[in-house]
Amino acid sequence: MDFAFPEKVEQLRARLLAFFDEHIYPNEQVHRQQMAEAKDRWQPVPIVEALKPKAREAGLWNLFLPESEHGAGLTNLEYAPLAEIMGRVGWSSEVFNCSAPDTGNMETIERYGTSEHKERWLKPLLEGEIRSCFAMTEPDVASSDATNIQTRILRDGDHYVINGRKWWSSGALDPRCAVFIVMGKTAPDSPDRHRQQSMILVPRDTPGLTIVRHLPVFGFDDAPHGHAELRFENMRVPASNILLGEGRGFEIAQGRLGPGRIHHCMRAIGMAERALEKTCRRALERRPFGKPLAEQGVMRERIANARIMIDQCRLLTLHAAWRMDTVGNKVARKDIAAIKVAAANMACQVVDIAIQAHGGGGVTSDFGLAEMCRYARTLRIVDGPDEVHRDQLARMELSQYKPPRTEAQAAE
């Protein structure tokens, strides 16, 4: 087994790392400052916009999107080490047009959209001219079970009429967010619970859309990206905006959430690496009780454990990415479920070690650890809570050992 990345990936890694040294790390404080001084926190951040042309020039644009003429021609496995680097600085992915939820949405339109959808939405998304939002979760029902979704998408002549409530629609507050992928039910009475849902592309300027409020995360607004509660009232959308056809929403969700989830895991590994780096630097320089923190056995044990957890997760994530590339997202769903749980929990633990090592400083915004902590903790819920992934994983594991159904059982 060869653990080395191919030459083209090594070259991209080197270019990306150099870009971080030259443009991202030196601007972390600038980004913080611009956000602090922003009159309207939902507007694009000037430093991010200024860096985008430089990233394009450096050939670091749309690095995701496997098996597509539109991406950089990288597989999931090849993209992993690049997304990991982007995870080191929370806002950096957008500089390379590789941020959530746009990457997952672009992949959805690429895989399931018509040529008109691609022309109207995918093209400007790939150019970074517009942004997008994925609206599945609802406040009124337990949305970790997508069969509960209540939003109605009702056919009326050449249109669909949409009514419902959504929340946690990330990115909806960005004024550039021009298209929403909305999941709702076209056939709520269908006996097949997995064929009741559909997904439809909704232009932001459709009458009937209300942004009710932004949802803070642990009291922070997560601006300029943000998360919104939305209300859809008698929104009329052309019937041609439906993705793949009625009743295919669940199937698309399975396809869309795989790449979205693994991208989160890749970024979480990068974030954890950064947290460990900060832990080590702090431990070497801080001297409680007359000697560096790094000389305390408990600190060394935590550092060693963090290294073990990160490396375990990276290997598991690379393996899941390889499975996606070789057997497809659907067959690889067990591997994706495993890394979604592992990476989110690993990130929580490693960031917690970093916070503890920084004492009071760890919970300020000065070291970026509070932001990491927020992201890591939400990751145990975002794109499906831990329990749901564990449940699915266990079911797939158990299914291998279940006795085959008898003829009598099958006839029941």
Ligand X SMILES: Cc1cc2nc3c(=O)[nH]c(=O)nc-3n(C[C@H](O)[C@H](O)[C@H](O)COP(=O)(O)OP(=O)(O)OC[C@H]3O[C@@H](n4cnc5c(N)ncnc54)[C@H](O)[C@@H]3O)c2cc1C
Binding residues (CB under 6 A) for ligand X: these are: 101, 134-137, 142-144, 168-170, 217, 227, 378, 381-385, 387-388, 391
Nearer to ligand X, 147 or 240 (CB): 147
* Shortest Å, Cβ 142 to ligand X: 3
Nearer to ligand X, 299 or 348 (CB): 348
* Shortest Å, Cβ 197 to ligand X: 12
Nearer to ligand X, 314 or 380 (CB): 380
Nearer to ligand X, 75 or 144 (CB): 144
Is the CA virtual torsion 189, 167, 112, 265 positive or negative? Answer: negative
* Shortest Å, Cβ 255 to ligand X: 15
* Shortest Å, Cβ 167 to ligand X: 8
As a whole number of angstroms, the distance between CA 406 and CA 365 comes to: 61
> What backbone phi and psi angles, to 5 degrees, belong to 202?
-120, 115
* Shortest Å, Cβ 93 to ligand X: 15
Amino acid at 24: I
Cβ-contact 236, 215 below 8 angstroms: no
Nearer to ligand X, 254 or 378 (CB): 378
* Shortest Å, Cβ 217 to ligand X: 5
Nearer to ligand X, 33 or 147 (CB): 147
* Shortest Å, Cβ 348 to ligand X: 14
Reduced 3-state DSSP string for 309-350: HHHHHHHHHHHHHHHHHHHCCCCCHHHHHHHHHHHHHHHHHH
Structure tokens of 187? 């056939």
Structure tokens of 369? 């650890």
* Buried b / exposed e along 36-67 (16+ C-beta atoms within 10 A): eeeeeebeebebbeebbeebbebebbbbbbbe
Nearer to ligand X, 199 or 299 (CB): 199
Cβ-contact 379, 270 below 8 angstroms: no
Nearer to ligand X, 97 or 169 (CB): 169
Structure tokens of 409? 């059982």
Beta-carbon-side half-sphere exposure of residue 15 (alpha carbons within 13 Å): 16
As a whole number of angstroms, the distance between CA 180 and CA 252 comes to: 15
* Shortest Å, Cβ 334 to ligand X: 16
DSSP tag of 289: G
Nearer to ligand X, 27 or 151 (CB): 151
* Shortest Å, Cβ 35 to ligand X: 18
Location of structure tokens 């009124």? 140
Alpha-carbon distances of 193 from 165, 187, 248, 251, 392, rounded to whole Å:
20, 9, 11, 12, 17
